[in-house]
Amino acid sequence: MSVPERLLITGGSGFIGTNLIDYLLDQGSDVCSVDIVEPQKKSHQKYFHHIDLLNKENLKEIFLSFSPTAVIHLAARTDITEHRDIHHYDVNTIGTENIIEAANATKTVQRVIFTSTKLVHRNGYYPTSPEDYSPETLYGESKKIGEQAVRACDLLGSEWCIVRPGSIWGPWFKAPYRGFFERIIAGKYYHIRSADTPKVFGYVGNTVFQIHALLTAPPQDFHKKTYYLSDYQPFVISEWATIIQKLAHSPTIKTLPEGLINLAAKVGDGMRFFGYSNPPLSSFRLQNMRTETGGMPLEKLKTITGELPYSLKEGCSETLAWLAKEDSGGF
C-alpha cells in the first residue's frame, strides 16, 4: 500500500501523537489531529480539532468532513490508579466503539490502527495468542475490552490492525520516564541492582517509524494483525541511566542498598494512597523494573520495518536536547 495521504490521528496532542504528527508531516501527509487537550506544539494548532471521542455525532462529523484515508487511534486514558471503576476509562472502551462506527460511516477510510497496550497481560507473562489476556489493572482491562470490540467489528471496506506499545520514552514524554531523565541530570538518581534485568523499551522516534511502516505494509502483514511496539534490542536500566549521565555530564550514579530501595517503594505507595499520582518510586514500578519484559514478540515487526533509525545513545541525545530546549522555553 502507498503512503496514505490523509491521516486522522486521535490523541494527537499526547506524547506519541505529537511525535507522530511531526513525522507524518515530514512524509508529506495531510494530518487531522483530534483531541480534548490543546496541542503541546504551537505549530500543530492548525491541524487540531477539539473533539471528545465519547461525542459520537461530533466524531462522525470530523471523519466525514476530513475524509481520511487512514486513522491512527492513539487517544486513551492511561493512568493506572486503582481506586476508580472501569467507567473512568470509557474513552478506551466506548471511545473505541465510536471510532469503529465513524470509520464505517466514512467511505474513504482504507486502514485503521488501534493502539492498545502491553498491559492487556501481566508483566512477565508470555501469552499463547493475541487474545490470551491477563490484565492486572483496570487500565489493562479497559484496553482488553477495546481490543475485543475491534476484533468483533466489521469495518466496512477497511483493514485494521492493533498495536501494543511497550514502555515508550523520548521528547514530549511525561511520567515516569521524564522524571527518570530529570533525576539523572540533577544527580538524584541511584542504581537499583535488582532491577538489572534485560528489558525492552521503545524510543518514540522508533515507535512512530514503526507505525508508519505498518501503515504502508502489504495487506497480509496488516489486516487483523497484532503487533507490539518497542525497540528490538533489550538492555538493563543501569546501562541506560549511565548513557544519560555521561551525555548530560551529570554526577556519577551510585547504587543504593536493596533495603532502602524497598522502603522508598513503600513510601511511594503511601504517597499514591494520599493522592500524589507520580511518586519517584512505588511497589508497582519497582516490580515492573525487576521483571523481565516477556511476552513481546517483535520478530515479525522487524521484518516489516528493518533496522530502526535511532540507537539507544542517539535517542538519549535527542531527548536531552529536547529537555534543554523546553527548559529554555524554546517551544
Q: Could you write out the DSSP letters of every residue in 275-320?
A: T-S--S--HHHHHHHHS---S---HHHHHHH-S-S--HHHHHHHHH
Q: With 80 as the cut, is the pLDDT of residue 331 above it?
A: no
Q: Which residue has the cell 484496553?
A: 143
Please check whether residue 25 lies inside any domain of the structure.
yes
- State residue 41's pLDDT score: 96
**Mean pLDDT, rounded, for 39-61:** 98
Q: Tell me which residue range forms the domain holding 217.
A: 6-171+200-232+295-307
Please check whether residue 151 lies inside any domain of the structure.
yes
Please check whether residue 210 lies inside any domain of the structure.
yes
Question: Do 317 and 324 form a contact (C-beta atoms < 8 A)?
Answer: no
pLDDT tens per residue, range 152-186: 998 888 999 999 999 999 999 998 899 999 999 99
Please check whether residue 26 lies inside any domain of the structure.
yes
- State residue 3's pLDDT score: 53
pLDDT tens per residue, range 226-258: 999 999 999 999 999 999 999 999 999 998 778
Please check whether residue 214 lies inside any domain of the structure.
yes
Question: Do 12 and 47 form a contact (C-beta atoms < 8 A)?
Answer: yes
Q: Across-strand partners of 228? A: 164
Residue 123 pLDDT level (bands cut at 50, 70, 90) = confident
Q: What is the mean pLDDT of the chain?
A: 91
Residue 315 pLDDT level (bands cut at 50, 70, 90) = very high
Q: Between 9 and 293, where is the model more confident?
A: 9
Backbone angles phi, psi at 271, to 5 degrees: -65, -40
- State residue 295's pLDDT score: 66
- State residue 124's pLDDT score: 78
Please check whether residue 93 lies inside any domain of the structure.
yes
Q: What is the CATH number of the domain that holds 103?
A: 3.40.50.720
Residue 330 pLDDT level (bands cut at 50, 70, 90) = low
Please check whether residue 40 lies inside any domain of the structure.
yes
Please check whether residue 181 lies inside any domain of the structure.
no
* Count of structural domains, the chain: 1
Residue 105's SS3 state is coil
